Structure 1
Amino acid sequence: MLKQGIHLKLGQGLSMTPQLQQAIKMLQLSSLELEQEIQNALESNPLLERREEADYSDADVNQTQTHTDHAPQEGSLSETIPENLSTDSSWEDTYDTEWKPSNPERESTSDYIEKLHTHSEGLTEHLLWQIDLSNLSTIDKKIAHLIVDYINADGLLTESPEQILGALQSELLIEQDDVDVVLHFIQHLDPIGVGATSLGQSLWIQFNFHFPSHPLKRKARSLLEKNLDLLAKRDYKSIKGGVGLNNKQLDVLLGLVRTLDPNPAGRFAQDDVDYIRPDVYAKKVKGRWEVTQNPEAVPAVRINDEYATLVSDGCVNEAAADYIKDNLQQARWFIKSLENRNSTILNVAHAIVERQVAFLQYGDEAMKPMVLRDLAEQLGLHESTISRVTTRKYLHTPRGIYEFKYFFSSHVNTDTGGECSATAIRAMIKKIITSENPRKPYSDNKLTALLNDQGISVARRTVAKYREALAIPSSHDRKVLS
């Protein structure tokens, strides 16, 4: 016989607080988007004000690291948006109320645009980049690549998982579960929610990721996947009846849904003109590589002390005091999010420079293999955090400006037991083709043999893939007739 009863169960779970959501949002913004975000905050919160460069004193901490200073300063990484951030943290009692970047010597905008080594990246490229750097098996990567082919510009899947299985079964011995597992993996890449079959499913994936232990989780799924049309019509009466919500639960659920992104692929829309501003500078000073924050990338903001002192001095009534206190709290959270973003970007850039010193000195052929997990383990961060930091963040080097993710690539084993990065192999292929006889250009088989002679064990199809990625025609099309 079944027994009914009430049972108490203890467990741990991460709740996505508004503060943590804001911090994560800050990380994935480009410097130009961040500037607009700061401007919006300044306009909406009277407790925030911009700090002019002239206000900086010589005592300000210089946001600079060298590649020999591997260990982060105490408290820096432990405070950069940890995956298990406490949901009841009182940030105003823990952190400073002011954040300011350094002011390094920098080149003009025209100088660094001339050295630009990047291009606007689309959603497909961003997903494939994460997939290729993942630990998926070769078969799973083939499945993932085909799934990405069926994801449109809005981030939605245009074919069903069953249709995708049918397209793959002619060349792979797989089952539906194999496709479903890989699809689930893609749906939880950055940005969360792409690869869904509908807007409702995309929102549910985001909800389940951000609020995995929320008591309204099941009702949220019913709302998003089955009753989204009612939400669009604001038919709250039907929602309460259909989903089984009271007024309070509906208000809570609507508040959580508003934090989700109905268009997670939107930030990858291609613009006609891309303006790039480096987030970090890397330069060699007296034989050591220094990594320095670009102050133009993140304007300095601070708390408006005049408003803040009104409450402590008792100069305002209770309603005004509550308004000021609320905005003061929001201002401090905002500043802390900026500080987290700054320190995380700086530490990731420092780790990149530390690992890729050979590239900075000798170029692409000296690029070392590096994947997201390498930096995640080194810095004590989650791979998804590294992915956010390396997307649309730019490093200014003596060789030009590079997106952070340019420094990441998979590896190929060498005959000596070492590893060679895919970037280095592409550079070798380009160098070999540049020096070939135009009347007798090298075939992909010959390029493969030449690389094998240098100890690089690579397949012909991989060489063809890298050649095509470099936009280099086949040997037949490269041949110059006398």
Structure 2
Amino acid sequence: MKQRLVLNQSLQWKMNQSLYQSIEILQLTGMELYDYMKQVAEENPLIEEVQPIDKELISQFRKTDYSIDEMNTAELTLYDQLKSNLYVLDIKDKSLLPVIIFGIDSLNEDGYIDIAMEEWADYCKVELTTVKRALSYIQLLEPAGIGARDLTECIQLQLKQMNIDAPYISTLMSEDIALLAEENSYQISLNYEITEEKAQKLIESIKLCHPKPGKLLTPTKTEFIIPEASIYKEDTEWKISFFNWSSPAIQINNQYNNQDLKGEAASFVKKKRKEVEMLQQALDYRSSTLEKVIRIIVEKQLPFFETGPKMLKPLTLSELSAQLDLHISTISRAIRQKYVQTVHGVIPLKYFLQREVQKGAGVASIVIKHILKELINLEDKSRPLSDEKIKQLMEERYQIKIARRTIMKYRDELQIPSSVKRKGANNNEK
């Protein structure tokens, strides 16, 4: 048991020494990145200075609200986010829902099932086969790896999403984990009768797996809402300008280059130089990934930048993933807690990812909410608009065809009372 624990730790360290740092840095906001860099600089004498940030410029962004996103759902816990995404699953047996929800509530913060399957079945008073079906649905949710029972299954789920077929991964993780830690593609290819190229691809794919997928959904609160970049129009062209805190520059102390170091001193400097190189690679990866994502968002949501919220288009992580040839989890990490400054205010990148109100409609749900709120704000208070009337106005004025129940659903989400209650409230005020 002890040997396996050591090997698991070795694998995680080896797999993630460079990639995990890239993943961690990719998720950081500009301010979090600056703080992280300062901490690294304190531990590495080769880093002479981290580019200072413009505190005066930051002060203008010191606010904790932004009007354009006030209609978006408030930040949810890991459990709330997973439950709210159950609609994407085609669950025909509705009696299975309580079992699925119990399973979601039984996840730990890392996203792993924290209860024995038999215990889960006992609590829900169902057969073990029912619990297994419920688990299979949970494991279809994003991010990949959610609902795993151990690290091996977590990696298997993520490899499956990457379309990596490796039926031997369980054996590889349990019996030949040292080969993964050493990235020994040659021996893996021999042991599992695959080509060395396929073995190397498998190793690289495992490096992309997140060992704690639940952390990708853990909400964090920020004191400052500070944009990574400014999106503005110059002449007829839309441009993106990144603020200096989005990608801090590091100044290297070169005095060690001219010293004839030996033994432990030479090894120490070599190690610290390697850390600097890995750090720079991680910074470059963060910058390039974030820029790619923002550029495609500007391209896809150009009508929004030109006109405003009513022109926001449906856009999903899957679409961005296909367009950029990046993994969905990479994009999800890149936009986490990231904001951009626009002519319409400081806006979170996740705001630009909106689901379609109904398949084929070509209208983002947030647009419906925006129009709905506007119509009700402008209504005759003595004769409030019914849901049916709002439905008709949307079709007449905006050529948007949606069901009355959808109007009712979004009105409830916006916490707007029905027309009867609005009229009653208006009469009481008189």
Instruction: Establish whether TM, by shorter chain, passes 0.5.
Output: yes
Distance in 1 (alpha carbons) for counterparts of 2:353 and 2:93 = 20
Within-5 A mapping of 1:308-387: 309-310=257-258, 315-387=260-332
Q: Does the aligned pair in 2 maintain the 1:144–1:183 contact within 8 Å?
A: no
User: Aligned letter for 1:376?
Assistant: S
Aligned residue number for residue 10 of structure 2: none
Q: 1:352 to 1:449 in 2, by over 3 A?
A: same
2-structure distance, mates of 1:19, 1:333:
6
Aligned twin of 1:264? 215
Would you say 1:427 and 2:365 are equivalent positions? no
Match of 1:280 in 2: 229
Q: What whole-Å deviation, never above 9, does each CA across 1:436-478 have from its counterpart, x for those lacking one?
A: 1222222333323333444323223322222233232332332
Q: CA deviation at 1:266?
A: 8.3
Give yes or no for contact 1:370–1:409 (8 Å, CA) kept in 2: yes
Q: Where do 5+ consecutive residues of structure 2 fail to align?
A: 1-13, 160-165, 178-206
1:268-306 deviation digits (Å, cap 9, x = unpaired): 25x4x6311111110111121111111123321143322
Q: Could you tell me how far apart the structure 2 residues matched to 1:383 and 1:144 are?
A: 26
- Output the amino acid matched with 2:372: I
**1:443 match:** 386
Deviates more, 1:142-151 or 1:21-30: 142-151
Partners of 1:123 and 1:265 within 8 A in 2: no
The verdict on how the C-alpha distance between 1:322 and 1:145 changes in structure 2, with shifts beyond 3 A counting, is farther
Runs of 5+ unmatched residues, structure 1 = 1-14, 54-100, 168-173, 222-255
**Equivalent residue, structure 1, for 2:23:** 24
Kept after mapping to 2: 8 A contact 1:280/1:346: no
The corresponding residue for 1:292 is 241
1:290-335 alpha-carbon deviations (Å, 9 max, x no partner): 111111233211433222x14xx5x111221111111111110111
TM-score (norm 2): 0.70
- What is the distance in 1 between the residues matched to 2:135 and 2:242? 42
- The structural deviation recorded for 1:356 is 1.1
Please tell me whether residue 218 in structure 1 is matched to residue 218 in structure 2: no
Is residue 46 of structure 1 aligned with residue 2 of structure 2?
no
Q: Is the 8 A contact 2:107 2:147 kept in 1?
A: no
Distance, in Å, in 2 between the alignment partners of 1:330 and 1:19 is 9
Inter-CA distance 216–42: structure 2 relative to 1 (3 Å threshold): farther
The question of whether the paired residues in 2 share the 8 Å contact of 1:115 and 1:400 is answered with no
The Cα of 1:158 is off from its aligned counterpart by: 8.4
| Deviation (angstroms), 1:261 | 4.5
Quote the Cα distance in structure 2 between the aligned partners of 1:376 and 1:153.
Answer: 27
Match of 2:60 among 80, 94, 110: 110
Q: 1:266 to 1:391 in 2, by over 3 A?
A: closer
Structure number with higher helix proportion:
2
Percentage of pairs with the same residue: 26
- AA of the residue aligned to 1:456: I
Tell me, in whole angstroms, the C-alpha distance in 1 between the residues paired with 2:152 and 2:135: 16
The whole-number CA distance in structure 2 between the counterparts of 1:357 and 1:143 is 42
Matched to 1:110, the amino acid is Q
Corresponding position: 1:121 with 2:70:
no
Could you tell me which residue of structure 1 aligns to residue 399 of structure 2? 455
Question: 2:182 matched to which residue of 1?
Answer: none
Tell me, what secondary structure is at the counterpart of 2:66? coil
Please give the TM-score of this superposition, normalised by the length of structure 1: 0.63
**Given the superposition, is the C-alpha separation of residues 148 and 110 from structure 1 closer, same or farther in structure 2, using an over 3 Å criterion?**
farther
Given that residues 138 and 146 in structure 2 are in contact (C-alpha distance below 8 angstroms), is that contact kept between their aligned partners in structure 1?
A: no
8 Å contact kept, 1:371–1:410:
yes
Aligned to 2:401, the other structure's residue is in SS state coil
CA distance in 1, matches of 2:99, 2:405: 17
Q: How does 1:244-259 map to 2 (within 5 A)?
A: none
